[in-house]
């Protein structure tokens, strides 16, 4: 009978890898809680309409990458991202009545049907922040600061922050018109995706990864439009305020006029944080402001800003951060005494194992050296004297102490 294997674009997170995942999750709770954020957990599937209206029906995510299925004549979709779901919960649960800002953080699996590559799977995990109720640039600055400090808490310091302002719907329309006019002569030379985006969402042209398209957009007359300061006075003031705060906070950043992000709901601030330890796919965090999304999904007009990070990509950068070994392993040929001592230690909050099959003494020591930091040796003499020999499996040092004292060694 054929073996059933894991599906393409998904992977098991094995016990040997879990310490890194626990490390990321614990640091998220620690860092985000300091900023007043509360954790939220939303369903893995939502109404398809939520993503079509929220993410945007011109995006690759909605057009190509969503896992959508019909159930009881309803169209449902596994979440491809979590901002739309958090916004839905914000509206549905009346969180607009809470005192602003409302700061929510999340972690969990997302699903997109795309070509698997390093750090990117069809089922992947994100950790993110959404902050509601503040229109001032102070909120944008704090969100970027949260992202940077979280990454630093993970031990990632070789980072670069890229910023751009997409302006508001009013000033962005003028930019779109100018951009289309200067690109139109090259329209037939663009990739099929860019040709489709040209009418529906011309800003997304700048996010194209096809080399032939990138060469066209690098032409001087196109770059002149891209690099122009098209945003209105209010948007420019907001962006200047943000840069002032980041300068005062010693957050190094650069301006990237090609940065547009892949989702339709962004306005004004967009940002990415990149790691110089990754290859071409080097973004570890992306986010920005989305002031119109709550209203577009049926809520009250509420400003918002947030970010998301791919946890698989973070895990590849972090590597092994914690010792996976259990604290103690009881080595004894008396199974009854072994299970009793192991349970005594567990009741004290100490991780402990013993050999369930009662193998030979040397085999038990061999296993202990692979899975534990300490071997607790219970021979005949130790059992009679109510003692235990504690062996440090890293240094090979050992000493015999009372069983009660042995428990205190690890607590």
> Residues 388, 400: contact at Cβ < 8 Å?
yes
> Residues 372, 325: contact at Cβ < 8 Å?
yes
Burial 219-229 (b: 16+ CB within 10 A, else e): eeebeebbeee
Helix segments in 218-303, DSSP class H: 220-226, 233-248, 293-296
The sign one gets for the Cα dihedral 391, 397, 399, 403 is negative
The Cα angle at residue 209 between residues 206 and 220, in degrees rounded to 5: 50
> Residues 329, 335: contact at Cβ < 8 Å?
no
Residue labelled with tokens 């296993």: 367
Indicate whether 146 pLDDT > 70: yes
Rounded mean pLDDT, 59-85 = 86
Q: Binning pLDDT at 50, 70 and 90, where does residue 111 land?
A: very high
Indicate whether 58 pLDDT > 80: no
Q: 261 or 357, which is more confident? A: 357
- 372-377 vs 352-354, strand pairing mode: unpaired
Domain ranges of the chain: 15-168+231-318, 172-229, 326-410
User: What is the pLDDT of the chain when averaged over all its residues?
Assistant: 88
Q: Name the percent of the chain lying above pLDDT 70.
A: 94
Q: What is the pLDDT of residues 189-215, one digit of tens each?
A: 888 888 777 777 777 777 777 888 888
pLDDT at 161: 94
Question: How would DSSP label each residue in 178-232?
Answer: HHHHHHGGGGGGS-HHHHHHHHH-GGGGGG---HHHHHHHTSHHHHHHHTS--S-
CATH topology of domain 15-168+231-318: BirA Bifunctional Protein; domain 2 (3.30.930)
Longest CA–CA separation in the chain, Å: 92
> Residues 348, 362: contact at Cβ < 8 Å?
no
The sign one gets for the Cα dihedral 269, 273, 279, 281 is negative
State the burial class of residue 293 (Cβ atoms within 10 Å of its Cβ: 0-12, 13-18, 19+).
Answer: buried
Rounded mean pLDDT, 395-407 = 86
pLDDT at 99: 94
Q: What is the pLDDT of residues 14-38, one digit of tens each?
A: 888 888 999 999 999 999 999 999 9
> How far is CA 327 from its chain centroid?
30
Q: 115 or 134, which is more confident? A: 134
pLDDT at 410: 72
pLDDT at 282: 79
Indicate whether 405 pLDDT > 90: no
CATH topology of domain 326-410: Rossmann fold (3.40.50)
């Amino acid at each position: 009978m054929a073996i059933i294997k894991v599906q393409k674009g998904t992977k098991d997170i094995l016990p040997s890898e879990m310490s890194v995942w626990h490390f990321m999750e614990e640091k998220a709770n620690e860092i985000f809680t300091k900023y007043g954020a509360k954790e939220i957990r939303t369903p893995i599937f939502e109404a398809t309409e939520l993503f079509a209206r929220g993410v945007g029906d011109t995006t690759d995510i909605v057009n190509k990458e969503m896992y959508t299925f019909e159930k009881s004549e309803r169209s449902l979709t596994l979440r491809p991202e979590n901002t739309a779901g958090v916004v839905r919960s914000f509206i549905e649960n009346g969180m607009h009545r809470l005192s602003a800002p409302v700061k929510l953080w999340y972690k969990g699996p997302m699903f997109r049907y795309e070509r698997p590559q390093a750090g990117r799977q069809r089922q992947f995990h994100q950790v993110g922040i959404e902050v509601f109720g503040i229109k001032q640039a102070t909120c944008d600055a704090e969100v970027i600061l949260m992202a940077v400090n979280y990454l630093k808490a993970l031990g990632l310091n070789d980072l670069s922050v890229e910023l751009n302002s997409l302006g508001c719907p009013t000033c962005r329309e003028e930019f779109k018109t100018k951009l289309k006019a200067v690109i139109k002569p090259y329209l037939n030379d663009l990739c099929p995706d860019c040709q489709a985006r040209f009418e529906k969402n011309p800003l997304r042209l700048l996010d194209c990864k096809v080399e032939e398209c990138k060469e066209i957009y690098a032409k001087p007359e196109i770059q002149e439009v891209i690099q122009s300061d098209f945003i209105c006075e209010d948007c420019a003031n907001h962006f200047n305020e943000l840069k002032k705060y980041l300068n005062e906070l010693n957050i190094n950043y650069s301006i990237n006029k090609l940065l547009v992000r892949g989702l339709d709901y962004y306005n004004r601030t967009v940002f990415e944080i990149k790691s110089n330890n990754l290859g071409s796919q080097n973004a570890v965090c992306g986010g920005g402001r989305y002031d119109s999304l709550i209203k577009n999904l049926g809520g009250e007009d509420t400003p918002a800003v947030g970010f998301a990070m791919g946890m698989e990509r973070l895990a590849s950068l972090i590597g092994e951060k914690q010792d996976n070994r259990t604290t103690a392993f009881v080595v004894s040929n008396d199974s009854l005494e072994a299970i009793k001592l192991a349970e005594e230690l567990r009741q004290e909050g100490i991780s402990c194992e013993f050999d369930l099959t009662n193998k030979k003494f040397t085999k038990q020591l061999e296993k202990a050296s692979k899975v534990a930091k300490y071997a607790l040796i219970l021979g005949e003499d130790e059992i009679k004297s109510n003692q235990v020999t504690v062996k440090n499996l890293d240094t090979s040092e050992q000493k015999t102490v009372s069983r009660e004292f042995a428990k205190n060694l690890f607590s």
